[in-house]
Structure 1
Amino acid sequence: MSDDALPRRAGTYRTFYAEPIRVASAHGCTITDVHGVDHLDAYNNVPVLGHSHPGIAAAVHAELLRVNTHTRYVDEHVDDYAADLLALLPQHIEDVVFTCSGSEANDLALQVAAYTSMATGVIVARRAYHGTTSATAAISPSLSPAPRDHVVPVDIPSASAPDFEAQLAARVRAAAAELDRRGHGTAALVLDTTMTSEGIVAGEHVRLPAVIDAVHDAGGLFIADEVQAGFYRTGAWWGFEALGVAPDLVTFGKPMGGGMPVAAVAGPRVVFSDFGASQRYFNTFAGTPAPLAAAHTVLRTLRDGGFGERVPEAGRRLGGGLTEVLAAEGIEAEVRRAGLMVGIDLRPAVGGDERRAGELAAALVEAMRARRVLVSRTGPGDAVLKIRPPLVITDAEIDRLVDALRGSLGDVGAGG
């Protein structure tokens, strides 16, 4: 089949880029297409240690040769991973329940929150994405803007607003009051801790203590969605660390297994015990040895491989390079960054016109793809370039990414 014959959309699926990439192989931060052309992957956060990591492959292979059971049996390898994961979390987070995907993890967290709070209402960010199950799609306005009676979206303030915390806390209190008025009460506030779908919201003013106080005052739980932000993406183990809060429940996914399907919910033991005493949760494939072998390899490599120093260093190099290019080309844009999670908000470049900024972002994504560097876009009007390379990206690859943006700005006539 030729590239021209490839469908860009099939059913609910969509391919990336006007000219989709037919992948032949991928290693590290490089995706090679069927024509032998290499592309720098600066978008996929699933292969957190890079594509085709040999340690992950070896660990999974060994476990498949050792045992292949479902989750009704006790396995010390699973227990060891759970202990190592919990050791990286706040002390009150004592138990972990495994799932196969971030969607399932957030779905289970919603069930636990509803049981614990005896309420059904959920507060989310205006453009949130938390999964594709019925329950998580209902709290994901980015999938469908159709209003849901038990869900109240709130606008996220500007990351540069000095009163970010006070603004958001007031909006969450208003949302909780609205949920009370509708008869649902507040079960949870669910936030992706880098608020990726909002355009990556990060910075010195982005704090949440007063926001979480508002949720707790309403009787709800704070669910920290670490599916995108977790596992050193932000330069720390968890995105919530920069927000000055300790979550009631934490969900994990995507990079957790470095490409294998594994995810989880973690929280206080009493919460899971109470929930489990009256409601069963069982997942045949979640928490089985092979995917958790991949997850344990990811955890150990991140823990012991110097990523606590490398990710902030690489993030500064990337953020600084992008900022310099934009300034040199006369492009007004806001570069927001948490470790190696970077958003370039292009709305200031076109006087705040969201539609035009989205068109510019789309053009730049395609121009960079033509220069064999893969990024995407997100945020209001899809006007924010989204950059989140594997954490093993080298300085040379960072410089290549920055050079691709420089050239792409010229390609689309954005300079001056």
Structure 2
Amino acid sequence: MEMYTKAETLELRRKHIGPSCKVFFPKDPIKIVRAQGQYMFDENGEKYLDCVNNVAHVGHCHPDVIKAAVKQMELLNTNSRFLHDSLVQYAKRLTATLPEQLSVCYFVNSGSEANDLALRLARQYSGHQDVITLDHAYHGHVTSLIDISPYKFNQLGKDSKKEFVHVAPSPDTYRGKYREDHPDPGSAYADDVTKIIEEAHKNGRKIAAFIAESMQSCGGQVIPPAGYFQKVAESVHKAGGVFIADEVQVGFGRVAKCFWGFQLQGEDFVPDIVTMGKPIGNGHPMSCVVTTREIAEAFGASGLEYFNTFGGNPVSCAIGLAVLDIIEKEDLQGHASRVGNYLVQLLNEQKEKHPLVGDVRGVGLFVGVDLVKDRQKRTPATAEAQHIIYKLKEQRILLSADGPYRNILKFKPPMCFSMEDAKHVVNQIDEILTDLEEVTTSNIGNGLPTSTHCKRKTPTDGSNHESNSHINRNRCRQENGFCTEGHKVPCKRIRT
């Protein structure tokens, strides 16, 4: 039973919640009151298929997670500085999924907190300050992470990048600097990182860490080319720095072939620090940093005690153990492989059918669809992506668009997402694309303009012009008439 109507909830939110805290679908936000599995339900009982909620990793309100949480909460929850078996049991189980060198855990409460701690570990161990990050990267919302997240700091203006931050090109082989026709894009992108290190050294700066999501999410569902991480790690280690793999959005079996995204690069690559969050607790606020004994001992040698009141508390560890049990018991990695392969197959069929689909890329249940106006030029179809998101919402399907140009449809559903769900979503996308193309064809025949993108310059050099998007957003308008008066294509961002 809800205390307030939707209108009342919105009014109270405007009154008491910070104005920068945005909602999905701002023109008509959804009020979700319960969820189960891959479905969410609004205050009217309408069921929505959740295609983006990678937080509810094993499914919303999984009964085994609820049972584990309630059972432990009825018994004890306390400060992590008391001895408790669940902490060491969970650390043992978690590190068993990782390469042997990664054996020491620090439990915290969010992905942002994990990445912030990872930076502290790297700087203490290396004795250096500077960080190399990827263009369009997002690593968290605290100050230290906004500093190393171009996805965020570019919105603040051209002078927002700190002197200790170095930005390497995103290893995007579809839209980036080195593409699929390059003989060795992994080495080419890694060479750019080496050049950044060399230039930093010339300027008297030293690298503490290279940090990257194992697969870029907000950057556009980017899967790094083979060999890239190995070569980057080699250069970073020579410079005295460490490699941080951010698994906050893609870990815990989502990529199907492996338990962790970085393992897709091969057994010969092992990061020095791994951060994890979101799926770790299936919606419960917990996260973790795992590193080597050597780095952990260097961190401890500073003489500064580290503790975290709630990180690794008994309830969090009970939930974490339940999530690991469910992934194994329900074979969610195998399920992600079967359903993910089927989803990519269906989307590739749409690529053959619809010119707007430029690229389909995915591993397991991490899938992106790059929408384009022109396949040869790979011009981003930003407005079309937003149109699709809103039309899907009308069909009770929740999907999101992201990437530097907001033109990537991104799939990161709960791992219980089914083949039937995949078929349903793609069928709806097919219908929306067909309608878009019919109107475009009609407008061409009538001599009307066909451009549907926001009226701003589209970068062609792979550079990040995210910083200008909030300025130009209000200048967006539709030109080809595929929107009805009652449903205009919004240019507001939809984030997950």
| TM-score, with length taken from structure 1 | 0.94
Q: Does the 8 A contact of 1:203 with 1:336 survive in 2? A: no
Residue correspondence of structure 1 range 185-196 to structure 2 within 5 A: 185-196=206-217
Match of 2:261 among 239, 256, 260: 239
Q: Which moved more, 1:179-188 or 1:231-240?
A: 179-188
1:307-346 aligned within 5 A:
307-346=332-371
**What is the aligned counterpart of 2:162 among 148, 171, 183?**
148
CA contact (8 A) 1:49 1:390 kept: yes
Given the alignment, which residue of 5, 12, 15 partners 2:20?
12
Rg larger in structure: 2
1:197 is paired with a residue whose SS is: coil
Would the alpha carbon gap of residues 345 and 206 (structure 1) be closer, same or farther in structure 2, given more than 3 Å must change?
Answer: farther
Find out whether 1:280 has 2:308 as its counterpart. no
Shift of 1:215: 1.2
Aligned to 2:82: 73
Q: Any residues of structure 2 matched to 1:10-49 within 5 Å, and which?
A: 10-17=18-25, 18-49=27-58
Maintained 8 Å contact 1:152/1:175: yes
Q: Which moved more, 1:322-331 or 1:54-63?
A: 322-331
How far, CA to CA, are the matches of 1:104 and 1:276 in structure 2? 18
Q: How far 1:157 sits from its partner (Å)?
A: 3.4
Distance 1:4 1:127, change over 3 A: farther
Deviation track 1:91-135 (CA, whole Å, cap 9, x = no partner) reads 111111100001010000100101111111101111100011111
Helix, strand or coil for the counterpart of 2:352?
helix
- Deviation at 1:211? 1.6
Match of 1:405 among 426, 429, 435: 429
Match of 1:134 among 118, 143, 166: 143
Aligned-pair CA distance for 1:212: 1.4
Partner in structure 1 of residue 493 of structure 2? none
> Following the alignment from structure 1 to structure 2, what is the Cα–Cα distance between the partners of residues 173 and 322?
36
Q: Distance in 2 between matches of 1:72 and 1:242?
A: 36
Q: Pairwise mapping of residues 224-235 of structure 1 onto structure 2 (< 5 A)?
A: 224-235=245-256
Comparing 155-164 and 340-349, the one that deviates more: 155-164
Q: Which residue of 1 aligns with 2:449?
A: none
SS at match of 2:152: coil
Q: Indicate the larger mover: 378-387 or 8-17.
A: 8-17
Letter in 1 for 2:341: R
Q: 1:59 to 1:206 in 2, by over 3 A?
A: same
Residue of structure 2 in register with 1:289 after alignment: 314
- CA shift for structure 1 position 413: 4.0
Q: 1:264 aligns with which of 277, 288, 292?
A: 288
Instruction: Quickly say closer, same or farther: Cα 1:344–1:242, change in 2 above 3 A.
Output: same
Q: Distance between the aligned counterparts of 1:266 and 1:203, measured in 2?
A: 22
Q: In structure 2, which of residues 105, 110, 119 is the aligned counterpart of residue 101 of structure 1? A: 110
With over 3 angstroms needed to count, the CA separation of the structure-2 counterparts of 1:28 and 1:386, relative to structure 1, is same
Matches of 1:144 and 1:165, distance apart in 2: 26
8 A Cα contact 1:363 1:412, kept in partner: no
Which digits, 9 at most, give the CA deviation of each residue in 1:171-214, with x for residues without a partner?
11122123324433101110000111221122764642112111
Structure 2 counterpart of 1:23, which letter?
I
- Residue 399 of structure 1 aligns to a residue whose secondary structure is helix
Partner of 1:254: 278
Structure 2: unaligned runs, 5 residues or longer: 155-159, 174-179, 442-496
Residues 36 and 91 from structure 1, CA distance in 2 versus in 1: closer, same or farther, beyond 3 angstroms? same
Matched, 1:301 2:310: no
- Structure 2 distance, partners of 1:203, 1:114, is 25
Residue 215 of structure 1 pairs with residue 215 of structure 2: no
> Do the aligned residues in 2 keep the contact of 1:200 with 1:379 (CA within 8 Å)?
yes
| 1:350-394 CA-partner distances (Å, limit 9, x unpaired) | 65465x522221111111111111111121211211111101111
Q: Choose 88-97 or 196-205, whichever is displaced more.
A: 196-205
RMSD, matched Cα: 2.0
Q: Decide which of 69, 85, 97 is 1:88's aligned counterpart.
A: 97
Distance (whole Å) between structure 1 residues aligned to residue 196 and residue 9 of structure 2: 48
Q: Secondary structure at the match of 1:392?
A: coil
- What one-letter code is carried by the residue in structure 1 that aligns with 2:111? G
Alpha-carbon distance between aligned partners in 2 of 1:292 and 1:349, rounded to the nearest angstrom: 49
Deviations 1:15-61 (A, max 9, x none): 11242110021111111111211110000100001111111111011
Residue type at the aligned position of 2:307:
F
Q: Which one is further off, 299-308 or 345-354?
A: 345-354
The answer to whether the 8 A contact 1:3-1:22 is kept is no
